[in-house]
């Protein structure tokens, strides 16, 4: 069936590109994916799929949904996932080499992480599997996840999927750090989990002429950051990598006034969940011990602490995907690749065995390869066919085999 899948992928390749360009032109921010959702639901209804909306909760706005293709025959239930949100990034009219093929029509909003491609991949896969429906048994649930970038809806989606008897969940990410068409799907840990650092150092403001009458949170903040670096060198397990990224240190607005507060924020990234949580506790304990030395205290922000699990591929599923990748595209599979970014896809492992693959989009001549979340980010549309073929092959084999 490999050749048949490749022929269908080629048949729909231009349509896949058109879909990607539509989504790229009409990006919507996390939890505001109204037009995006309407467009996708129309595609689902046109194929006769059942659409169910995920209820809103304290964090999500209810813009996520699922669509189900039922073959009418008993068999496995698998799920295929895409994210649907864009980022608050002002897009540059050029990529790394030339003027863009297509550009966002919404000022200050951009698909700067490949989610436009992910949606196009899933919709094309949905069409192909619908074409092959008579050869399949079981059900396919297509997941359209709200707000992946802010991780606001993953818990609602996971709760919504529980109890549906799902046997496996597949997802993919277009990767700017891999050349176009290269594929990676290693078993085990492949992406980091994340802890959000977000706290205020609270002191006492005052006039710049009398530092003795104030409690300067700036000095306390600097001391905290210096102390954290020592903790990292001396107390984090060197065999369990945890990266520390302090991205904000904001305090004061006038030359002659000591501020009341200094704000510190950033992230911790980790492959080992226990070590990641321990690292966060060490960081906050350090902050709370250092601040009183300066007459200050710590106030933790609302968005702080554990946020996303590490992505860990099920070994059996990953080996299947590797085998299918070699069959579809001999010589395109690469190994031993980890990405220090984080992904809400990790949480689908709480529902069923899950597997996540990377498909390269870097093409120096075309101008793609800029880091994700970057104004120059672009994707080589020639990569889309690799991702469509791999996702389709995974679903086809799962719904035509007994293992």
Read off the pLDDT of residues 145-199 as tens digits, 9 standing for 90 and up.
999 999 999 999 999 999 999 999 999 999 999 999 999 999 999 999 999 999 9
Q: What confidence score (pLDDT) does residue 141 get? A: 98
307, pLDDT greater than 90: no
Q: Is 26 annotated as a binding residue?
A: no
Q: Residue 113, annotated ligand binder?
A: yes
Segment 105-122 shows an average pLDDT of 98
**CA separation for the pair 65, 376 (Å, rounded):** 30
Which residue do the tokens 């492949």 mark? Answer: 190
Alpha-carbon dihedral 190, 82, 347, 350, rounded to 10 degrees: -110
**What span, in angstroms and rounded, lies between the C-alpha atoms of 293 and 285?**
14
Per-residue model confidence as pLDDT tens digits over 172-182: 999 999 999 99
Contacts of 35 (CB under 8 A, 6+ apart): 26, 28
> What is the reported pLDDT for 238?
86
Find the range with the poorest average confidence among 160-164, 165-169, 229-233, 376-380: 229-233
Q: What is the CATH number of domain 1-191+310-399?
A: 3.40.630.10
Global confidence as pTM: 0.94
362 vs 325: CA distance, rounded Å: 18
- Secondary element (H or E) of residue 173: strand 168-179
Q: What is the pLDDT of residues 16-71, one digit of tens each?
A: 999 999 999 999 999 999 999 999 999 999 999 999 999 999 899 999 999 999 99
Summary mean pLDDT of the chain: 96
pLDDT band (50, 70, 90) for residue 128:
very high
Residue 403: pLDDT over 70: no
**Given pLDDT bands bounded at 50, 70 and 90, which one contains residue 73?**
very high
Q: What tokens were used for 99? A: 């003027």
> Is 44 annotated as contributing to ligand binding?
no
Give the range among 227-236, 361-370, 374-383 with minimum mean pLDDT.
Answer: 227-236
Query: Residue holding tokens 């490949």?
Result: 114
pLDDT tens digit sequence for 269-301: 999 999 999 999 999 999 999 999 999 999 999
Question: Across the beta sheet with 139-145, what order do the strands follow?
Answer: 50-53, 65-70, 139-145, 77-83, 168-179, 354-362, 183-184, 333-334
**Would you list the domain boundaries of the chain?**
1-191+310-399, 193-307
Residue 294 is assigned to a ligand binding site: no
Dist. CA 111–CA 306, nearest whole Å: 26
DSSP letters of 355-382? EEEEEEEEBTTTTB-PPTTSTT----GG
Q: Which of 320, 345, 7 is nearest to 148 (CA)?
A: 345
What is the distance, to the nearest Å, from the Cα of residue 150 to the centroid of all Cα atoms in its chain?
Answer: 9
- Name the residue among 119, 96, 131 with its Cα closest to residue 26: 119
Q: Is 115 annotated as a binding residue?
A: yes
**281/300 Cα distance (integer angstroms):** 12
Asked whether the CA dihedral 85, 199, 299, 342 is positive or negative, the reply is positive
Which pair of tokens denotes residue 3? 């050749």
What's the whole-number mean pLDDT along residues 2-21?
A: 97
CATH of domain 193-307: 3.30.70.360
- Helix (H) and strand (E) counts in the chain: 9, 17
For residue 331, the model assigns a pLDDT of 97
């Amino acid at each position: 069936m490999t050749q048949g899948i490749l022929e269908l992928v080629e048949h729909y390749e231009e349509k896949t590109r058109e879909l990607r360009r539509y989504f790229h032109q009409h990006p919507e921010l996390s939890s505001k994916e109204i037009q995006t959702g309407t467009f996708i639901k129309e595609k689902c209804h046109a194929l006769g799929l059942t659409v169910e909306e995920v209820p809103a909760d304290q964090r999500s706005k209810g813009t996520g949904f699922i669509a189900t293709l039922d073959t009418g025959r008993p068999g496995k239930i698998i799920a295929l996932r895409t994210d649907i949100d864009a980022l608050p990034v002002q897009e540059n009219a050029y990529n790394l080499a030339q003027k863009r093929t297509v550009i966002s029509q919404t000022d200050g909003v951009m698909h700067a992480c490949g989610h436009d491609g992910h949606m196009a991949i899933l919709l094309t896969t949905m069409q192909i599997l619908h074409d092959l429906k008579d050869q399949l048994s079981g059900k396919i649930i297509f997941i359209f996840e709200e707000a992946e970038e802010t991780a606001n809806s993953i818990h609602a989606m996971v709760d919504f999927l529980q109890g549906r008897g799902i046997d496996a969940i597949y997802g993919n990410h277009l990767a700017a750090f891999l050349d176009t068409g290269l594929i990676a799907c290693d078993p085990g840990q492949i992406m980091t989990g994340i802890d959000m650092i977000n706290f205020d150092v609270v002191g006492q403001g005052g006039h710049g002429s009398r530092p003795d009458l104030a409690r300067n949170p700036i000095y306390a903040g600097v001391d905290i950051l210096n102390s954290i670096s020592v903790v990292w060198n001396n107390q984090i397990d060197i065999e369990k990598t945890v990266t520390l990224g302090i991205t904000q240190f904001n305090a004061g607005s006038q030359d002659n006034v000591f501020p009341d507060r200094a704000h510190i924020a950033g992230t911790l990234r980790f492959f080992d969940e226990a070590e990641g949580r321990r690292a966060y506790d060490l960081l906050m304990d350090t902050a709370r011990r250092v601040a009183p030395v300066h007459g200050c205290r710590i106030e933790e922000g609302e968005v702080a602490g554990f946020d996303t699990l590490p992505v860990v591929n099920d070994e059996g599923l990953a080996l299947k995907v590797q085998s299918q990748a070699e069959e579809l595209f001999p010589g395109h599979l690469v190994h031993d690749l980890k990405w220090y970014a984080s992904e809400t896809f990790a949480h689908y492992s709480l529902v069923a065995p899950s597997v996540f693959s990377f498909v390269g989009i870097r093409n120096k001549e075309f101008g793609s390869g800029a880091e994700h979340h970057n104004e120059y980010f672009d994707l080589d549309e020639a990569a889309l066919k690799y991702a469509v073929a791999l996702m389709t092959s995974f679903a086809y084999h799962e719904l035509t085999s007994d293992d």
